[in-house]
Amino acid sequence: MNKKGSLVNSLVGVFLIGVALISVIFSFVGSATTLSSQTDSLSVPYAIPVNITLTKDSPVALVSVLNASGSVIPASNYTDAISSGYLTMLDNSTVVDGDSVEVTYTYKADGYVDSSNVRLLLLLIPLFVGLFFLLKAGRIAGK
């Protein structure tokens, strides 16, 4: 094989390996640095006040609480204990016994990194991997 054909094959190989690795790295970095969102639709039993247990572990923040008709339930009608994994519906006129309630919240997915400094470093990894493959391709082209 001639030198030019070998160069093209090398560059294509470096490019394909780089694309494959970058996509895996972006997937890992995304799940480690981004909070996920979950909506639980639950039926409120006939005994209010009641605790509504959330389905995901490590909830962080409440986004919204809606009643069966899709209207926002005011914060005065529930107690936010989301960091403990539940919400307490209080006896009020917005929720009728047996109605469904939609609770939307953010949570830390498996593999989420709590430290903001580490999350910042993780976000730099794809940049460094991309620079590595760019320099590697330039080195091969320079031969």
- Report the first-to-last Cα separation within the chain, whole angstroms: 16
Same domain, 72 and 100: yes
Residue 19 and residue 53 share a domain: no
pLDDT digits (tens, 9 = 90+) for 36-60: 777 777 776 655 677 777 777 778 8
Check whether residue 7 and residue 57 sit in a common domain: no
User: pLDDT tens digits for 92-113?
Assistant: 666 666 677 888 888 887 777 7
86 shares its domain with 52: yes
Number of domains in the chain: 2
Average pLDDT over residues 16-23: 73
User: Do 29 and 44 fall into the same domain?
Assistant: no
User: Same domain, yes or no, for 89 and 54?
Assistant: yes
Note if the pTM is more than 0.85.
Answer: no
Name the amino acid, one letter, at 116. S
Question: Strands of 50-53's sheet, edge to edge?
Answer: 50-53, 86-89, 78-81
Average pLDDT over residues 55-76: 81
- Could you give the 3-state DSSP secondary structure of residue 50? strand
Residue 85 structural domain = 36-107
Residue 124's H or E segment, with its range, is helix 116-141
- Within this chain, do residues 99 and 45 fall inside the same structural domain, yes or no? yes
Q: Cα–chain-centroid distance for residue 80?
A: 22
Tell me: do 11 and 49 sit in the same domain: no
Give yes or no: residues 42 and 68 share one domain: yes
Residues 70, 88 within the same domain = yes
Rg, the chain, Cα only = 25
Contacting residues for 126 by C-beta, under 8 A, at least 6 apart: 22, 25, 26, 29
Residues 47 and 18 in one domain: no
Is residue 117 scored above 60 in pLDDT? yes
Asked whether residue 79 falls in the same domain as residue 49, the answer is yes
